[in-house]
């Protein structure tokens, strides 16, 4: 039974649960991984106790549900797995007593007073003390715009405004000149997500080696590449285009595009580039794959001047960084292209690769000059391919 079904089937006239219906997909998105696992769930605000029972049914027999309220009458809602404690959510001594008694919470759901100063005080105390994979959720944040809850549009002291600032704090590592110094929040926060009247914080272990791709991300890109190669093999360009459009993760598409280029798989790389270019993404491998796809496969142009764009990207690289740029980015991709051309002994494809290469790497102008014109005839073609092999050697050096 999902949470929405549990909510509908267990309404009690004496103990009703009041929740906005579009909260439930958000709950399930973040809470589903905790079902039937040992869990400490802290809900601030009990009202008539029905929500604590809902969480007990949803999370299962290993969950410890803690309800907090200022109304002493809520103590009557205690039962097996459900513990009710009476106190003010902004009282840090009271909050510390909860940690001393139950340990750090895995999930905090703030549905309490909705007073902005209370919400902020609770968050500032509890969030740093949560489990490293914890979820902190504040709901009914439409109150951040209402004066009677200390709110108001863009009022600096509302929790909405605080959460906006925490987005910058999460990215403090990337600010320049010490504009924003990293904090504990920076090191231990995976995401800040806004929904209608809700904000959700996902904690994580201390973030180190941010440049290392996680296996799950690698697998996702790997499966995407396999899907596109299968569709390309079926020569189903429409399905290929549709599959790319369905992928909403732009960074994943960029990684898949680069991997396909490295494998010499130009057509699916071109389709990815076309979709990303339409969305306004500027990246050197987008221009490269658009140029290669248009020239080699005679595919319809979607980028106005792809070769000029490649040249512009290459020229824009600082002179001291040029060799690193060419070595790390362009050369590894040109290598499989030339290898395939040499295997196929295709002079026509070779000329196209030469044009793309010259746009990317002006430094190879002298080496490529002999490849620009090749007379017909087997001997001339052999000579042309031999020169291409020399260029390949230089690229691989």
The Cα–Cα gap between 226 and 353 comes to 25
The Cα–Cα gap between 311 and 358 comes to 8
Strand partners, 168: none
Catalytic residues: 114
The Cα–Cα gap between 89 and 380 comes to 84
Q: How far is CA 103 from CA 61, 66, 96, 185, in A?
A: 18, 11, 10, 20
The Cα–Cα gap between 147 and 138 comes to 18
Instruction: Residue 355: count other Cβ atoms within 10 Å of its Cβ.
Output: 16
Where would I find the H helices in 139-281? 159-170, 184-188, 215-233, 237-246, 250-262, 266-278
Mind spelling out the 3-state secondary structure of 266-305? HHHHHHHHHHHHHCCCCCHHHHHHHHHHHHHHCCCCCCCC
Instruction: Residue 279: count other Cβ atoms within 10 Å of its Cβ.
Output: 8
């Amino acid at each position: 039974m999902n949470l929405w079904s549990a909510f509908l089937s267990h309404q009690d006239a004496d103990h009703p649960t009041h929740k906005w219906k579009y909260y439930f997909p958000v709950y399930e998105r973040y809470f589903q991984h905790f079902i039937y696992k040992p869990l400490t769930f802290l809900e601030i605000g009990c009202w008539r106790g029905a929500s604590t029972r809902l969480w007990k049914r949803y999370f299962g027999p290993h969950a410890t549900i803690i309800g907090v309220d200022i109304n002493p009458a809520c103590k009557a809602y205690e039962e097996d797995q459900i513990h009710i404690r009476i106190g003010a959510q902004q009282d840090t001594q009271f909050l510390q007593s909860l940690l001393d008694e139950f340990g750090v919470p895995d999930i905090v759901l703030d549905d309490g007073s909705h007073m902005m100063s209370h919400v902020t005080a609770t968050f500032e105390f509890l969030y740093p003390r949560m489990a490293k994979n914890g979820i902190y959720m504040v709901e009914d944040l439409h109150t951040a715009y209402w004066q009677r809850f200390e709110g108001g549009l863009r009022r600096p002291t509302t929790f909405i405004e605080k959460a906006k600032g925490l987005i910058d704090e999460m990215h403090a590592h990337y600010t320049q000149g010490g504009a924003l110094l990293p904090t504990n929040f920076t090191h231990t926060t995976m995401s800040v997500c806004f929904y209608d009247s809700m904000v959700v914080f996902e904690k994580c272990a201390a973030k180190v080696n941010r440049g290392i791709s996680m296996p799950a991300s690698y697998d996702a890109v790997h499966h995407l590449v396999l899907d596109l190669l299968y569709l390309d093999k079926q020569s189903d360009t429409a399905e290929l285009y549709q599959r790319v459009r369905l992928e909403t993760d732009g960074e994943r598409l960029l990684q898949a595009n680069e991997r396909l280029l490295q494998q010499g798989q130009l057509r699916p790389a071109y389709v990815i580039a076309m979709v990303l270019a339409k969305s306004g993404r500027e990246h050197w491998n987008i221009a490269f794959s658009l140029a290669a796809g248009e020239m080699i496969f005679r595919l319809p142009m979607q980028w106005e001047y792809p070769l000029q764009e490649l040249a512009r990207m290459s020229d824009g690289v600082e002179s001291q960084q040029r060799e690193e740029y060419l070595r790390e980015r362009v050369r590894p991709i040109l290598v499989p292209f030339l290898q395939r051309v040499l295997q196929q002994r295709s002079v026509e494809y070779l000329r196209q690769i030469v044009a793309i290469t010259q746009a990317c790497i002006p430094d190879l102008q002298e080496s490529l000059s002999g490849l620009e014109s090749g007379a017909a005839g087997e001997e001339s073609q052999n000579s042309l391919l031999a020169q291409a092999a020399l260029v390949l050697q230089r690229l691989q050096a």
